[in-house]
Structures are given as structure tokens and as C-alpha cells.
Structure 1
Amino acid sequence: MRTVGLKLESLVFTASIAKIIRKYQELSISQIKQIVLNNEYVFKCDIICANGIRTILHIKGDLSKEGIISYIYVDGKLTNEEYLNNILASYKQTENQVETEINREALLEDE
């Protein structure tokens, strides 16, 4: 499993961080505090999970609005939002290709 995760630059816990993280995950304040203090991923998912990737991008955006710097990692290596957006675009393209192929096969069966 390839993991995509979001970490904070600072190891300082704040109420703003807790509020943002709780918007996307049901975690207690103490759990969020431990995650921040231990420099763990505040959110992570499998790289094939489009919804998880979108969530990471939303969390990163919300944190940025509050002036909180965060970093995206894929398998422990630093990456950026553009990389994740490209992955999402690729997934959408594949989804469209599969749908087109299914429709084509369905039409052939109807004939």
C-alpha cells in the first residue's frame, strides 16, 4: 500500500489545528494533540483513494488559510499539491475511459 499523508511543519498544538482536523476526522482533542506533538500524519490514506486525496488537499487548504504550514508526503517522500491533483486527473481520465468502454460494450450487446 502506498500512503499519502499530511504533516504539520510545527510541533505546536493549537485550537485551530484541532478544529480543522476534527472537521475531517472524528478524533479527540488529546489524540490530535499527540499526533501533532509526535510529528505524525494529521491525515493519511492509500494513494488509490481519490476521496482521501481530496480530503488531504482540503485540510491543507484549510490549514493554510489559518497560516499553518503543512507538507504532503507520498511513501514518506515530500511532494506537492500539483502531484496529487495530477493523480486525481489521471483517476478521472481512467474512470471516463472505463465508462466509455462499458457503454461501447453495452451497445454491441444490444445489436
Structure 2
Amino acid sequence: MGYQVIDRRPGNVTRQTFGIATAVHFFSALCFVAMVAAELEGCDAGDGAVLALLLAMAVDLTLTAVVVATMYRRTAEHRPLLLGWAAGLIPALLGLVAAAVYIGGLGSGCPV
């Protein structure tokens, strides 16, 4: 009897993977906020924010790939697992749109 990571019932698998997906995307959002607060260097006011967004997206994609691959191997029910992760993309896309609107609202040009 090995360690059971997730409940094997399809409804519970979907809920649990949605929660894990949301946590991964929230961590990436925190990375974005921290990097924007650090004011990464760039001539244009939005350069640092764009870099922060790209780095946060790289963190999100890397964590998602690792966690999904690990969970995919540990559960026999693949459809509910992928459904939970797909549902977790909805808040992530809303966060991405919010970040893009924020970056679009920043002034352009180098300060003199």
C-alpha cells in the first residue's frame, strides 16, 4: 500500500486538481507581483513589467508541466485530472489579462 496522493473518485480528482492548479497559478502571480515591485531595469517604464510577466509565465509553465506529469502518473483517472487543470486555466487567463492591462497602462518612453 503506497502513499495515495489524491482521492481516486472522479469528482474529487477534478476538485483536487483544480485546487492545485489554482495554487500553482497563484504562486506565479505572486512571482509577477514581486518582480514588478522590484522594478526590473529597462528604459521604458513597461520593460521591467513585461520581463516580469514573461518570467512569471515561464515559472507557471514549468511548475504546471512538472505537477501535471507527476499527478498524471499517480492517478488512473486521467480525464478528471485534465478537466481540473483545464478549469484552473480560467483564473490564470483572467490574471494574465489583468497583467496585460496593467502593462498597457504604463507610460512609454525613457525618463529624461
Same fold (TM > 0.5): no
Q: Which has the higher contact order (CA 8 A, sep 6+)?
A: 2
Pick the structure with more helix per residue: 2
Q: TM-score, normalised by structure 1?
A: 0.35
Q: TM-score, normalised by structure 2?
A: 0.35
Pick the structure with more strand per residue: 1
